[in-house]
């Protein structure tokens, strides 16, 4: 039963990260491509969209016990790290980027841990 609870936590972490990414994309799009400080938010938007999709799929595969879960956890961690790196560039002046970076770091860490133990 302990494993199922841990897996459920991983699924929640993936979905929480996807939600943070979607919120970040929405906030960035509402600013336009520029944030008023001359920062181009295009890379942030692109990475957040990719990350939200990968996190959602990773969580869904884990929830159903897919044989491909481990492979997606490895990919999810990689994409989450890239997204966090980008969002951290803007975290000092955008709360949504800070929240996204934090969610991505948490998800990447959990995906790495889960994939190593799978």
The number of beta carbons lying within 10 Å of the beta carbon of residue 20 is 27
55-114 residue pLDDT tens:
999 999 999 999 999 999 999 999 999 999 999 999 998 999 999 999 999 999 999 999
List, in order of start, the domains of the chain with CATH numbers: 10-116 (1.20.1270.360)
Burial class (CB in 10 A: 0-12, 13-18, 19+), 6: middle
């Amino acid at each position: 039963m302990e494993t199922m609870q841990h897996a459920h936590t991983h699924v929640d972490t993936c979905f929480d990260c996807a939600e943070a990414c979607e919120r970040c994309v929405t906030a960035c799009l509402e600013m336009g491509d520029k944030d008023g400080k001359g920062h181009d938010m295009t890379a942030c938007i692109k990475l957040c969209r990719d990350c939200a999709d990968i996190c959602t799929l990773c969580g869904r595969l884990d929830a159903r016990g897919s044989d491909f879960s481990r492979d997606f956890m490895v990919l999810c961690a990689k994409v989450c790290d890239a997204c966090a790196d980008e969002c951290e560039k803007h975290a000092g002046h955008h709360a949504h980027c800070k929240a996204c970076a934090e969610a991505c770091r948490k998800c990447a860490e959990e995906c790495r841990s889960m994939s190593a133990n799978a």
